Amino acid sequence: MKKMRIPFGTLMLTEYSKNLIQEILNSNRLSCGKYVRKLEKGFASLLGVKEAVAVSSGGDAVALSLAVLYEYGAKRGDEIILPALSFIATGNSVLQAGFIPVFVDIERDTLNINPENIEAVITPRTRALLPVHLMGKPCNMDRIIEIARKHNLFVIEDAAEAHGALYKGRPVGAIGDMGAFSLYVAHIVSTVEGGIITTDNEEYASILRSLRNHGRACTCVTCTLNTSDNLCSKRFRNESDDDIRFRFDRLGFSSKMNELEAAIGLGNLEIIGEILEKRRKNLYFLLNEFNKFSPYLFTIKKEPWEELGPHALPIIISEEAGFSRKSLIKYLYDNGIDSRSLFLSMPTQCPGFSFLGYKLGDFPEAEYVGKNGIHIGVHQDLEEEDCVYILETIDKFLKMAK
Ligand SMILES: Cc1ncc(COP(=O)(O)O)c(C=O)c1O
C-alpha cells in the first residue's frame, strides 16, 4: 500500500476571493463594510433565515448570542445548559458572556447532549439551552425545543461544526432562536478567522450589531463611515445632543469582521454546493464502510431524517479494543493521516473549569469520548482513493493491534 498524505483540513482561496481582496485593498476600505454585509446576506439565504451577523470568531458568535438575552430579562450569573463534550470555546463563551455554564452528559452514539438529562438541571435561573451539533450531527431538536417551550427558555444552537446539516428538512442553526457558526479555517465556509450568527428575529440582529461594536447605540446594517466619504447623518439625530457613535447602550464586545475576511468567505459561498457535495460523499462513503471495524471502533450514524454537516469523521475506540488512542493516532500519523482528538469533558477534563466544582465521573459518556475519541478530515480535496486508503490503514492497524 503506497503511503498517502491526508491532511485534516483545507482552505478554499478562490480566484473570486483573490480578485476581491485586491479590489478591497485598492479601495482602502478594509473595516466591516459592504462585503461583510454581502457575506451576511449570502449566509442568511443559505440558511433560509432573515438575518445573519458576522463577528470575529465562532466563540464570539456563541458569546454574543447569549449576551442578547440580557435585553430579555436575563441577569449576569444566570445559567445556560450545554453538553459536557464540545470544543472548549462553547464553555468559554458562556463564561465570557457573564453566565454560569451548567453541563449535562452526552449520548455516546450521537456525541450530542442527551435531552433526557436536561430537565433535571433546570432551575429558576436557567435562561437558555445551548445544544452543540458536534461533528455536524444534528441534535435531537424536537425534544430540545419541546423542553425549552415548556420551561420558557431560549435555544441557541452552537452550529460551529454543522455547516450544511439538515434536521427534518430544516437547516441546523435556523431551528432555535439563534444559530452560532464558526468560520475558522477548519470549518466548511471559512473566512480564516470569523464567526456568524443566524436568526429570524430582526431585533436580535440589531442588538448583535451593537454588541459586536462595543455596545454602540448605532446599529446600522453597514456603517456609512466605512463605506463612503459621506458624513453620518444619524449621529446627532436623537432626543439629546449626544453623538450616537459615542453612546454605548450595553456592555459590548470588540468583534467585527473585516472586508478581507469577508472576501474569502464570499468565495466559499459561491461554491458551497460543490464543497458540501464532495465532503458529504467522502463522509458517507467512510460511514458506510465503518461497521466492519466493530466492535473495536465506532462512529456516528446518519438517520433517515437528517443530513450530516460533513465536518469530519469521528472515530471512538470501544471498551473491547485492547489498544490506546495514542497508538492509533501514532499509526495514522506514521501513515500520513492527520487526526485531532475529539475534545474533552469541559467541566471535568479541562482545568479552567475546575472552579465550578464538578468532579471526574460526573459525565461518564463525555469523559469516555474525551479519552478515546479522535476525528479525521473528510474535506473537498480528498478523493475516493484517499478514503479507501484511510479505511485500509485503519484495517491494517486493527489487524496488527488485535
Ligand atoms: C463546537 C464549537 N464551538 C465553537 C467553536 C469556536 O469557533 P472559533 O474557533 O471560530 O472561535 C468551535 C471551533 O472549532 C467549535 O468546534
**Are 20 and 45 in the same domain?**
yes
Q: pLDDT, tens digit, for every residue of 335-347?
A: 999 999 999 999 9
Q: How confident is the model at residue 235 (pLDDT cuts 50, 70, 90)?
A: confident
**Are 354 and 260 in the same domain?**
no
Residue 228's pLDDT is: 66
Residue 3's pLDDT is: 85
Residue 281's pLDDT is: 98
Q: Is the pLDDT of residue 231 over 80?
A: no
Q: How confident is the model at residue 223 (pLDDT cuts 50, 70, 90)?
A: confident
Residue 226's pLDDT is: 64
CB of 184 sitting under 6 A from ligand 1: yes
**Are 223 and 357 in the same domain?**
no
Q: What is the mean pLDDT of the chain?
A: 95
Residue 236's pLDDT is: 79
Q: Which atom of ligand 1 is nearest to the CA of 187?
A: 14
Q: Is the pLDDT of residue 230 over 90?
A: no
Q: Is the pLDDT of residue 221 over 70?
A: yes
Q: Which atom of ligand 1 is nearest to the CA of 132?
A: 1
Q: Is the pLDDT of residue 102 over 90?
A: yes
* CATH code, domain carrying 76: 3.40.640.10
Last residue of a domain, one of 217, 236, 270: 270
Residue 227's pLDDT is: 66
On whether residue 9 sits in a domain, the answer given is no
**Are 308 and 348 in the same domain?**
yes
On whether residue 2 sits in a domain, the answer given is no
Amino acid at 281: K
To test the pocket of ligand 1, the residue of 87, 111, 264 to mutate (highest count of ligand atoms within 8 Å of its CB) is 87
**Are 329 and 359 in the same domain?**
yes
- Grid cell in block for residue 179: 444559530
On whether residue 6 sits in a domain, the answer given is no
Overall pTM surpassing 0.75 (yes/no)? yes
Q: pLDDT, tens digit, for every residue of 8-17?
A: 999 889 999 9
**Are 305 and 160 in the same domain?**
no
**Are 193 and 291 in the same domain?**
no
**Are 164 and 66 in the same domain?**
yes
On whether residue 7 sits in a domain, the answer given is no
Give the mean pLDDT of 45-70. 98
**Number of folded domains that form the chain:** 2
Residue nearest to atom 7 of ligand 1 (CA): 58
Residue 334's pLDDT is: 97
Last residue of a domain, one of 247, 270, 293: 270
Q: Which atom of ligand 1 is nearest to the CA of 186?
A: 14
Q: Which atom of ligand 1 is nearest to the CA of 182?
A: 10
Q: Domain span at residue 343?
A: 272-401
**Are 202 and 337 in the same domain?**
no
Least confident span in 134-138, 245-249, 336-340, 383-387: 245-249
Q: How confident is the model at residue 229 (pLDDT cuts 50, 70, 90)?
A: low
To test the pocket of ligand 1, the residue of 184, 188, 344, 345 to mutate (highest count of ligand atoms within 8 Å of its CB) is 184
Q: How confident is the model at residue 233 (pLDDT cuts 50, 70, 90)?
A: confident
Residue 220's pLDDT is: 87
Q: pLDDT, tens digit, for every residue of 242-274?
A: 888 899 999 999 999 999 999 999 999 999 999
